[in-house]
Homo-oligomer: A and B are copies of this chain.
Amino acid sequence: MNSDADRHVQVIGIGAGDPAWLTLEAVRALEALDVAFVFQKGADDELAAARRALLPEGVREVVIEDPPRGRGAEAVAVWRAERVRLVREAVAASDGNAGFLAWGDPTLYDGLIGVLREAGFGVGVVPGISAVSALAARFGVALNRVAGAVLITTGRRLEAGWPSDADDVVVMLDAGLAFRAYPDAEIFWGAYLGTPDEMLLSGVVAEVGAEIERVRGAARLRKGWMFDTYLLRRASSA
């Protein structure tokens, strides 16, 4: 067993759903692992199961039960500290080439890199196809317009008003359906991207917003979880 300071842990981006979105680099990185760590929320965590299904034979699998997460900044800080502790222990108890499988792209709205650094490990990152790229590809649209900017943000931030720096906004983690405040905007909405449950809806918010809300609510009830993202586009201000 090595000391923590020696340990270098890989975060391997496995893409945002479809196993065909694995890169050749990710395939090789998975094959080179001795032990793979997967965060799991409860026994029926479909995303965790999908990650584990990508592991080559012979790679030892260690499931880390994701600690419960309360609401509010303080509760999130507690959850995060607990994750750091769990990761530190799990990696310290392992030998060989260790890696974490990250949904989508580890560099975008995924806390693993930060958690591993805080736990004191060196981190290597294999980039992956993010939900943002996957969404745009499914609709066959570019994220940016000519010479324009793209803001990737959260639902909470969008609730505060349309950003001043971009006419094209990608929203992650939006349980509050902030798009409803912008009836004139065009929306490209996708859920469970790259999986058999994939759902895609697009149009002017005034026309498709209610349908998205309905379909999203029903799917969330049926599956018990929701993972969606959307591109919101307003008339160019340039």
Q: Which residue numbers of A lie inside 8 Å of B, CB to CB?
A: 13, 15, 18-25, 27-28, 76, 80, 105-111, 113-114, 123-130, 133-134, 136-138, 140-144, 146-147, 149-154, 156-157, 163-166
B123:A127 contact, CB within 8 angstroms:
no
Q: In the A-B complex, list the 4 residue pairs whose CB atoms are closest, starting with the nearest.
A: A107-B136, A149-B153, A20-B25, A127-B137
B125:A105 contact, CB within 8 angstroms:
no
Apart from the given pairs A13-B133, A107-B142, 9 other A-B contacts in the complex at a CB distance below 8 Å: A15-B23, A20-B28, A24-B27, A114-B142, A125-B137, A127-B136, A149-B157, A150-B153, A165-B166
- Given A114-B142, A163-B165, A166-B165, check contact A108 B133 (CB 8 Å): yes
- Interface class of chain A by DSSP: mixed
A113:B141 contact, CB within 8 angstroms:
yes
Complex Cα gap A196–B76 (Å): 41
B residues near A108, Cβ cutoff 8 Å = 133, 136, 142-144, 150
Copies in the complex: 2
B residues near A133, Cβ cutoff 8 Å = 13, 105, 107-108, 127-128, 130
- Given A25-B18, A140-B123, A140-B125, check contact A152 B149 (CB 8 Å): yes
Instruction: Considering the complex, give the chain B residue whose CB is closest to the CB of A147.
Output: B154
Q: Could you write out 11 A-B pairs with CB less than 8 Å apart? A: A20-B24, A22-B24, A24-B27, A108-B136, A111-B142, A113-B140, A113-B142, A130-B133, A149-B163, A151-B166, A153-B166
A126:B137 contact, CB within 8 angstroms:
yes
Complex Cα gap A142–B156 (Å): 20
B residues near A157, Cβ cutoff 8 Å = 149, 165
Output the least CB separation between A143 and chain B (Å): 5
B156:A152 contact, CB within 8 angstroms:
no
B residues near A114, Cβ cutoff 8 Å = 142, 146
B residues near A109, Cβ cutoff 8 Å = 144
A144:B140 contact, CB within 8 angstroms:
no
Output the least CB separation between A163 and chain B (Å): 4
